[in-house]
Structure 1
């Protein structure tokens, strides 16, 4: 939209009268509230369907990354996953369809009011031409000003509605950004000057937040400096969880992790990271 065009329209309105310009503005104002209201509804749908949307992104990943794409091809899983994609997409579209159609219909009805106002404005102005009050040049100038005004004002109001709608999604980002860390570090945390000589897991049990089952239960493990240890287990056995606890991504639900006899919770986290090195299996996808 062009603020200069709106200002010029007001200059024209000052010459020929503000009445119809004010009416056009009043009838265009609902466009903002319509966009804001249905933007809120769509955001609510997006929020409630976030698990399905995230799953769709995961399925997209499966179809675009070579390692997973190779397995899909070898095991003939294409139709299985495509069916899942279509099913989820249809479920999400069905949720959005009704409010979008309703928004379009209401916006269209509101937009029909402006031509009616313009019609009566031009009718009055034409009468002024016959009475020699206005010239044909005035008529052309007035007509262009009306169309420019309603076009720019409508665009401005709709864009304000879009900004409001987008702000709903941005709020989630700020909410995430300002989440407080549940793994708290003590004010006078200990520093680890040398590599630890011993790491001990004592009766360590852990449940993921919101989970019902223990990912790890009553783990007792001692690792001495210089030892080479391999932890082997089937998928879901808790191998990665063990590493996450060691890195203090989480604290144990029960039990303790001791570093040279002192609780891991007592150490400065960043200082502790300086003594660790890890290679996660997702690394090839990050590089």
Structure 2
């Protein structure tokens, strides 16, 4: 059923531990694909850095053992072995400094490259999706989560993964050194540090839950920030004192977030302190054991340094391993949002890929008993719409708000697919043509046209991106749309920056001026069908008359669909189609419909009275 159509869903599921780590592993595959050379270099530097602590601990033990023998009188007086170990220890220290600098350099470079790639993946996925996604709030929640992870998550996973590898290798070498003292020393260390992992995982899930389910509110706060600081709304913000109201909501929401964050921080840090205290007690017991062994001369002097450094490194590295695993789990939870977003697929299939629209269209375009309900809603917008546009014909579509006029345009552009019925081009179902080619043959000027913070030339040229550098074409389109006088008055003409978001020389246009720019953009294409959706809503009467005189001439010999509430403008059409409740109520020329005395005549007279 039409009413059961579904759009992007907002359901969030928290991944289990192995699943979250698999998502982190998928990121590392992407990292390698981004730059195999840098990834291999980072792996080699990580391995070298991981071995340095063990070399330093072992060489320092040898130095202490040699000094102990000489002090006790059991040595041979040759200090060469001690000096060799001092040199080896120094070289290990230098190697550690060098590898840390190298790792930081490679991580930063690789992280920058991959973060850019992740953002491009989101942009490319967004560009491939249907308009229906962008009319669904649930999609924006997913987009917010994915964009947040693209900014931070991948780089953190790179750092945590290689950091974990380094810590595991270092931990293995330290445990090996501790085994030279006793196996139970290793057991004590592991027993007193392992519980931290469970605690970290538990609080990672809670952090994920907090941030993920905040997404709608976070987006709303970002919207408030944009409203308060945007030049398009600043006048209303001041007149209606909206800024204070929105700042109040912002402050209260932030206070609630802060209380939640503080509660989580207090509980997680309290648990961390208790576990660290447990580890310290275990370390104290082992240190007493080793110290007594040296005092009784059962163990060499170097074993104190071996234990002290190995134990400190083991505790520290174990903590780093557990923290890295927990962090990878947490980042894996968040990066799942990134991959979930990338799994979105277009809802409008391109079954006719490669099948071009006829040039020229010889029979016209026909809506044949078209039914449509927007995804996620139950109210049918079009309930059997049928009308045709023949080659060279100008058809006006009128009706009250919500009658389905703009929806019909969206279906014709294949932003959505019909639920029932068909839209035909030269007798062939619209769905059998290539989607991109359909859109290339349509020039549309929407009622909610774009006001791009770009140059005047680009604002016009965006209508045909392949001819963005063709200034002759841009000037011609500006002439057709009536935008040339507007542009000629700008400080730098077509090179003038429109809007004041970027640079100090930007110029703000009035609503009517922006609409003329949008009209010019629509005329950039040499399209077979021109659709004008309320194209003169922001123009005064004189400008409107001028534009429609232009439209009358420019659409000569071409199909055109005109949507307007102003009955003075629709009279230029060859035929007027009146829509009510998603179907055609009546159609004909202005004179025919006035003689009919139906809905068109009633609405025309009602509007005419307002001008008397």
Q: 1:209 to 1:88 in 2, by over 3 A?
A: farther
| Distance in 2 of aligned mates of 1:57 and 1:234 | 34
> Pick from 124, 137, 140: which aligns with 2:305?
140
| Residue correspondence of structure 1 range 211-250 to structure 2 within 5 A | 211-214=377-380, 222-225=388-391, 241-250=407-416
TM-score, normalised with respect to structure 2:
0.41
**Structure-1-length-normalised TM-score:** 0.80
The answer as to 2:246 corresponding to 1:81 is yes
Shift of 1:117: 0.9
Question: How is 1:1-287 mapped onto 2 (pairs within 5 angstroms)?
Answer: 1=163, 2-3=166-167, 5-69=170-234, 71-186=236-351, 190-196=355-361, 198-202=364-368, 204-214=370-380, 222-225=388-391, 241-277=407-443, 281-282=449-450, 284=452
1:258 is paired with a residue of what secondary structure? strand
- Note closer, same or farther for the CA distance 1:261–1:9 as it changes in structure 2 (3 Å cut): same
- The question of whether the paired residues in 1 share the 8 Å contact of 2:366 and 2:388 is answered with yes
Q: Cα 1:268–1:65, aligned 2, differ >3 Å: closer, same or farther?
A: same
CA distance in 2: counterparts of 1:7 and 1:17, whole angstroms: 15
For residues 250 and 213 of structure 1, the distance between their equivalents in structure 2, rounded to whole angstroms, comes to 16
Give the Cα separation in 2 of the matches to 1:238 and 1:81: 34
C-alpha distance in structure 1 between counterparts of 2:403 and 2:185, whole Å? 73
- Secondary structure of 2:279's counterpart equals helix
Whether the 8 Å CA contact 2:352–2:435 is kept in 1: the answer is: no
Instruction: Give how far 1:194 is off.
Output: 1.6
Distance 2:309 2:399 in 1: 76
Contact 1:195/1:275, CA 8 A, preserved across alignment? no
CA contact (8 A) 1:204 1:217 kept: yes
TM-aligned CA distance change 1:168 to 1:237, over 3 Å:
farther
Listed one character per residue, the Cα deviations across residues 86-132 of structure 1 (whole Å, up to 9, x for unaligned) are 23334444555544433332222222211111111111111112201
Instruction: Classify 1:179/1:222 alpha carbon distance in 2 versus 1 (closer, same or farther; 3 Å).
Output: same
- Equivalent pair of 1:189/1:266 in contact (CA under 8 Å): no
Asked if 1 retains the 8 angstrom alpha-carbon contact of 2:352 and 2:434, the reply is: no
Structure 1 pair 149–173 and aligned structure 2 pair: CA distance change class (3 A): same
For the residue of structure 1 that corresponds to 2:344, the secondary structure is coil
Q: How much does 1:169 deviate? A: 1.9
Give ranges in structure 1 of 5+ residues lacking alignment: none
CA distance in 2, matches of 1:240, 1:94: 46
Q: In the TM superposition, what whole-angstrom CA distance separates every residue of 1:181-215 from its partner, at most 9, and x where no partner exists? A: 33234368843132546334455454322124455
Residue by residue over 1:224-261, the C-alpha shift from the partner in whole angstroms, topping out at 9 and shown as x without a partner, is 55567787899978666444323222113454333233
Comparing 241-250 with 214-223, which one deviates more in the overlay?
214-223
For the residues of structure 2 that align with 1:13 and 1:175, how far apart are their CA atoms? Answer: 45
Q: Over residues 18-69 of structure 1, what are the superposed CA-to-partner deviations in whole Å (9 max), with x where a residue is unaligned?
A: 3233322233223223222222233233333332222223223323443234
**Over the residues paired in the alignment, what is the CA RMSD in angstroms?**
3.5
**What is the Cα deviation at residue 179 of structure 1?**
3.1
When residues 65 and 107 of structure 1 are mapped into structure 2, their CA distance, relative to the original with a 3 A threshold, is same
SS in 1 for 2:442: coil
SS of 1:66's partner is coil
Q: Relative to 1, partners in 2 of residues 1:173 and 1:227: Cα closer, same or farther, differing over 3 Å?
A: farther
Structure 2 unmatched runs, 5+: 1-162, 459-612
Query: How many equivalent pairs are there?
Result: 287
Question: Quick check: which has more Rg, 1 or 2?
Answer: 2
